[in-house]
Amino acid sequence: MIRKSAIHLVNIIDENLELDRQQHDKVRFTLEVILTDISKILIILFISRIMGISRDLMIVLLFSFPLRINVGGFHMKKYFSCLIFSSIYLFTIFYLNTSLQVETPILVVVGIICGIIIFSIAPIVPRERVETTSMKIKQLKIRATILSIIYVTLFTIINNPYTRYGIWVIIIQTALLLIAKGVKTNEKKIIKQATTTTL
Amino acid sequence: MRKKLLNKPLQLLCSLLLAVAPLIISDSACLGLWGEPEIPNSLK
C-alpha cells in the first residue's frame, strides 16, 4: 500500500515536472522511505498513547534512531514484520527500564562494554545496499561509538529514568548487532563452503 | 494556471527528495526502524 501511494505521488509530480527514469526512481524511493517510517512511528505512538506511555516511547525512539542508522544490522522484508519487530524492540526497552531495578554502576559498566562491542563490530550494512567503502564504514563506526559515549556520559551526569533509556538502547542494539554479525559470518562460511565444493 | 501554481512547490519538494535519496543510501548503515524498501538499481 505504501509503495502504491509512493508511486501515485511520484506520478503526480511526474505529470507536472516530467522526471527522467533515474529521478523517478530516486523520488519514489525517498517517498517510500519517508512514508514507511513515519507511518510505523505514528502507529507505534498511537498504541503507546492508548497505553499512556507515549512520552517514554518517544524518548526511546530519540535515543534509538541515531544509533540504529549508524550501527546497522538486519532488517525485515515486509512492512508488517518490521512494524511488529520495531514495536517489540521499543516496548521491550520500556519494560526493561521500568521493571528491572539494575543499579547505576552496573548499567554504566554494561553500557561501556556494549560501546566497546559497537566500536569493534559496527556497522553491519545489509547486503541489499550499495558496496560501502572502508572510509564510510570508518565514519559510521566513529559516529556509533561517539553516540554510545554520549549516551553513557549523559546517564552518568543526569541519572534519571529518561537518560537510563539510552543505556538500554545501547544494550539491546548491541545484542541485535551480535546476532546480525553471527548470521552474516555463518552466511559467509556457507557461501565459502559451497564455492569450494563446486570447484 | 493550476499547473503553474503547483510547479514551484513541487520543484522544491522534488529537489529535496532527489538530494535526500543518495544520503539515505550512502550516509547511513540502514534506516531507523527494522524495515527497508527495495533500493532501485539506479541508486546502487
Chain A environment of B28 (Cβ under 8 Å): 69-70, 140
What pLDDT does A115 receive? 94
Which amino acid appears at position B28 of this protein?
S
- Residue B29 to residue A72, Cβ atoms within 8 A: yes
Return the DSSP state at B41: G
pLDDT at B2 over 60: no
Report how far residue B33's alpha carbon sits from residue A2's, in angstroms, rounded to the nearest whole number: 15
One-letter amino acid identity for A61? L
Q: Which of A29, A122, A125 sits opposite B37 (nearest CB)?
A: A29
Subunit contact B37:A30, Cβ cutoff 8 A? no
Output the CA angle A191-B32-B16, nearest 5 degrees.
110
Distance from CA of B15 to the nearest CA of A (A): 9
What is the torsion angle, in degrees rounded to the nearest 10, for the CA atoms of residue A121, residue A125, residue A130 and residue A133?
Answer: -20
Q: Report the alpha-carbon distance of residue B2 to residue A182 in Å, rounded.
A: 56
Whether B22 has a pLDDT exceeding 90, the answer reads no
What confidence score (pLDDT) does residue A196 get?
A: 80
Assigned C-alpha cell, A10: 511520484
Query: Can you tell me the distance from the alpha carbon of A122 to that of A116, in angstroms, rounded to the nearest whole number?
Result: 10
Contact present, B7 and A16 (Cβ < 8 Å) = yes
What ipTM was assigned to the predicted interfaces of this complex?
A: 0.82
Question: Which of B31, B38, B41, B43 to probe by mutation at the A interface, max A CB count within 10 Å?
Answer: B31
Average pLDDT over residues B35-44: 78
Q: Give the amino acid at A26.
A: K
As a whole number of angstroms, the distance between CA B37 and CA A32 comes to 7
Mean confidence (pLDDT) of chain B = 79
Total H helices, total E strands in chain B: 1, 0
Q: Which residues contact A118 (CB under 8 A, 6 or more apart)?
A: A71, A144, A145, A148, A170, A173, A174, A177
Residue appearing with cell numbers 541508486? B43
| Side-chain half-sphere exposure of A3, counting CA atoms within 13 A | 8
Of the partner residues B6, B26, B29, the one whose CB lies closest to the CB of residue A69: B29
Residue B1 predicted with pLDDT over 60: no
Q: Which pLDDT score, from 0 to 100, does residue A23 have? A: 81
What does the pLDDT profile of chain A (199 residues) look like in tens digits? 777 777 777 777 777 777 788 888 888 888 888 889 999 999 999 999 999 999 999 999 999 999 999 998 888 888 899 999 999 999 999 999 999 888 999 999 999 999 999 999 988 887 777 667 788 889 999 999 999 999 999 999 998 989 999 999 999 999 999 999 898 888 888 888 888 877 6
- How far, in Å, are A68, A93, A106, A161, B44 from residue A101 at the CA level? 25, 13, 11, 11, 46
Name the β-bridge partners of A72: A124
B3 confidence band (pLDDT: 50, 70, 90): low
Contacts of A138 (CB under 8 A, 6+ apart): none
Question: Which of A:87-116 have CB within 8 Å of B?
Answer: 89
Beta bridge pairs of residue A76: B35
Looking at chain B from residue 2 to 41, which residues have their Cβ under 8 Å from any Cβ of chain A? 3, 6-7, 10-11, 13-14, 17-18, 20-22, 24-41
